[in-house]
Chain A
Amino acid sequence: MMTAVLNLLGTTPRARRRALWGIALILPNTIGLFVFFGIPVLMSFNTSLQEWNGIRPAVYIGLDNFERLASDTRFWNALSNTLQLLLMIVPLEMLLALGVALLLNQQRLKGRAVFRTIYFLPVVTSTVAASVVWAWIFQPRFGLLDMFIAPLGFTDIRWMTSPDLVLVPIAAVAIWQRLGFDMVLFLAGLQSIPGVLYEAAIIDGANRWQRFRYVTLPMLSPITFLVVVLAIIHGFQIFDQVFIMTARTVPGGVGGSATTLTYLLYDSGFVRSQFGYASAVAVVLFAIILSVTVGQLRLQRYWVYYESGEAQ
């Protein structure tokens, strides 16, 4: 038995030592991940099967929380809001980030490092601070945005109170904050594309658009895939912007118009003290994100190209 275990690590003492060193070095992080992430996740699964207000002893109720969730209009409303935000955020965020990355990839552009820093600053800005400021930017009468759009005839737009519009400022802040992160990824991807491919394309008579379409985009597809996956995962978990930006009006938006799945989770747990139900929301959210991510992994074979030149 012991020999079998040691053979897993390596067949020579040196190989085994290296393997053990590797394990030892990642062990602290792994333990931390298990203690601070793994165990809480397992506990959350357990709590989702209970009725618990955080004070009285928890009572097992089986799948009742999930049954309730299935018929709860607040859940479906939150899911709808989350999907709407994803539709607004992911395409725009990617397009803008790619556009900025393409601009910053120009060799002739002076001060590229400065621009890169400027675009990355929102990424390292506190979400709370950014949300507070952006809420004031969207203030209909005295906000900065109103200064620019009022002369165009758009006045007194109730961004933060109108159920039809409240998701727009939230999406705007989310895009603004993540743009720099995606830009950096795209920039790294662009800079790793071999120049010989462009040279070959030029020799073949490809114009700028054709080079972009048939060289840049395919070679960038692994990074694009990464950006899409991360953006979607992040989009499903939007909470800070909702919490902060709707705090001055109606938390979660009028009639739940800004309530996302994670906000519903917080509201159920920490406002209504329904921790079992909140955990059920968390489990469902986990399942949704996992399904979407697995689906994306499966679909990547059709459009992601790696250096071998073929989709995998």
Chain B
Amino acid sequence: MTKRVVFSVLLVVVLALSASVVAQETTIDEPMITPVVCEEPGDLTMWVWDETWAEVIGNSIEVWTEKYCEGATVDLIQQPWGNYWDLLRTNAAGGDLPDVFNMSQTFVGFYADNDVLLNLQPYWDDAGIDTTMWGTGMVNPYRFGEDGDLHAGPVNWDTVAVLYNKEMLEAAGLEEPTSDWTWDDFAMYTEALTDEEAGVFGSAVYMQFQTGYANWIAATGESPAVAPERAGCTLTSDESLEALNYLHGLYDAGYMPSVSVMGGSSADDAFALFASENVAMITAGSWKMPDAIEQLTFDWDIVQLPRHPETGRSRSVLHAVGYVAAANTSQPDLAANLITFLVSDEAQMFFAEAGGVAPANPNPVLQATWAEAFADSGKNVQAFIDATEDSQGVTGFGEIWNVINAELVINIFDLDIPVEDAAAMACDEIDRTIAELAE
């Protein structure tokens, strides 16, 4: 009887321990950012634009209110991307911004220039956080003021890589590309994979700024579209023209579809064509992985962008969404405390395990967890991680977004305007806008 009781107790203990291991998320022994308890709880509002992130962030906030700020509440609202920026500007004009909200590197300039954002640097300093840990590409667009104070906490990072249809490659007798492949290899693959009779294009890799031509310009060593410090337009430089002409050559030869064929100038239009097996290779951001895994019905994989034949560089535009707080929030300390928690290893683990965009926190355990989240898919997501090594930060900004994101693309890859002329037209608009903003 005693033995049976002991055995039963041991079994229960073992089971309980096993259950706790199963239920417990991956733990981090050496966190890079340790959250601090808030001084006084309160009520906050928070806006995000992505539905998936809203769920992840919601889970993080639950932990924050349980462990680090008991009694605090956060009204988390997901505003659809299409309305987000108009709503944000309208609310900013009305002095009614949410306390904490997501920010993009593309649009942060307007808010920073108008002192709408809370300076988080004092809070980073108080918490002993070395903001250089995130890397310049992630945080530099969020640094303002003479001292380069960091006004945002990076949420996640995303890079761009090439998605390819393995079945089409196999049918064309091509081996799967590796990270060493070059522009010349890419051109050869694109040509070989094009089947005019079947209406299949070899690739579609130029559309939009972030997922398209900017990456190819970056590989030449040039800053895409705009020089650092907004010194001027770079699209008419030799390097930019080289990249644009390279892509245009593939399009002109009929190996890439026009914008009209794709039905739009966005990367999502190229993805739709890829999903329908009308194009063999596209560029896509890491944020697209959940959709790709869910929707693509054929065998596919991921490889880094090809290397420039002379510089040998494969570069991806790297973008990091940020958590920011409103300068006029009634609870600056609380808002900063929430942001500090959200960028901590503990909160970022939710992003890592969700398998969507990668967490910005550079802890290797987090990055490995994120990659592991895709393990079942069998896809080479490591290509996205490797792309961060020599990445290019976002250089475009809101006021010129239509020009660099759509108009340039359509002029070259739909209206057949010569590359040099299209680049010159874009530069006229960009330089005019830069001059207007400087006034």
Which chain A residues have a beta carbon within 8 Å of chain B's beta carbons?
53-56, 136, 139-142, 156, 158, 160-163, 248-252, 254-255, 270-273, 275
| Contact A270 to B411, CB < 8 A, known contacts A141-B261, A249-B264 | no
Contact A270 B263 (CB under 8 A): no
Interface presence of B220 (CB below 8 A): no
Chain B residues with CB under 8 Å of A162's CB are 415
Bound state CA distance, A162 and B415, in angstroms?
7
Chain B residues with CB under 8 Å of A139's CB are 260, 263
Which chain B residues have a beta carbon within 8 Å of chain A's beta carbons?
86, 89-90, 92-93, 110, 114, 116, 258-261, 263-266, 269, 398-399, 402, 406-407, 410-411, 414-415, 425
Chain A residues with CB under 8 Å of B414's CB are 158, 161
Chain A residues with CB under 8 Å of B260's CB are 139-141, 156, 158, 160-161
Bound state CA distance, A271 and B258, in angstroms?
27
Our pick among B114, B261, B263 for the contact of A53 (Cβ within 8 Å) is: B114
Chain B residues with CB under 8 Å of A56's CB are 114
Which of A56, A250, A272 has the most C-beta atoms of chain B within 10 angstroms of its own C-beta?
Answer: A250
Chain A residues with CB under 8 Å of B398's CB are 271
Bound state CA distance, A158 and B259, in angstroms?
9
Our pick among A141, A156, A250 for the contact of B410 (Cβ within 8 Å) is: A250
Which of A136, A163, A271 has the most C-beta atoms of chain B within 10 angstroms of its own C-beta?
Answer: A271
Query: Distance (Å) between the CB of B80 and the closest chain A CB?
Result: 14
Our pick among B86, B259, B269 for the contact of A270 (Cβ within 8 Å) is: B86
Chain B residues with CB under 8 Å of A249's CB are 259, 264-265, 406, 410
Contact A273 B110 (CB under 8 A): yes
Chain B residues with CB under 8 Å of A250's CB are 265, 402, 406-407, 410
Our pick among B90, B116, B269, B415 for the contact of A158 (Cβ within 8 Å) is: B415
Our pick among B90, B93, B265, B411 for the contact of A248 (Cβ within 8 Å) is: B265
Contact A161 B266 (CB under 8 A): no
**Which B residue sits closest to A139, measured CB to CB?**
B263
Bound state CA distance, A272 and B264, in angstroms?
23
Contact A142 B92 (CB under 8 A): no
Query: Distance (Å) between the CB of A276 and the closest chain B CB?
Result: 13
Chain B residues with CB under 8 Å of A275's CB are 93
Contact B263 A142 (CB under 8 A): yes
| Contact A54 to B93, CB < 8 A, known contacts A249-B406, A254-B415, A272-B399 | yes
The 9 closest A-B pairs by CB, nearest first: A54-B93, A248-B264, A250-B406, A55-B114, A140-B260, A161-B414, A250-B407, A141-B261, A158-B260
Contact A254 B92 (CB under 8 A): no
What are 7 pairs between A and B in contact, CB < 8 Å? A55-B92, A158-B258, A161-B410, A248-B269, A249-B264, A250-B407, A273-B89
Bound state CA distance, A162 and B414, in angstroms?
8
Contact B261 A252 (CB under 8 A): no
| Contact A254 to B263, CB < 8 A, known contacts A56-B114, A161-B415 | no
Bound state CA distance, A233 and B425, in angstroms?
34
Bound state CA distance, A252 and B258, in angstroms?
20
Query: Distance (Å) between the CB of B431 and the closest chain A CB?
Result: 15
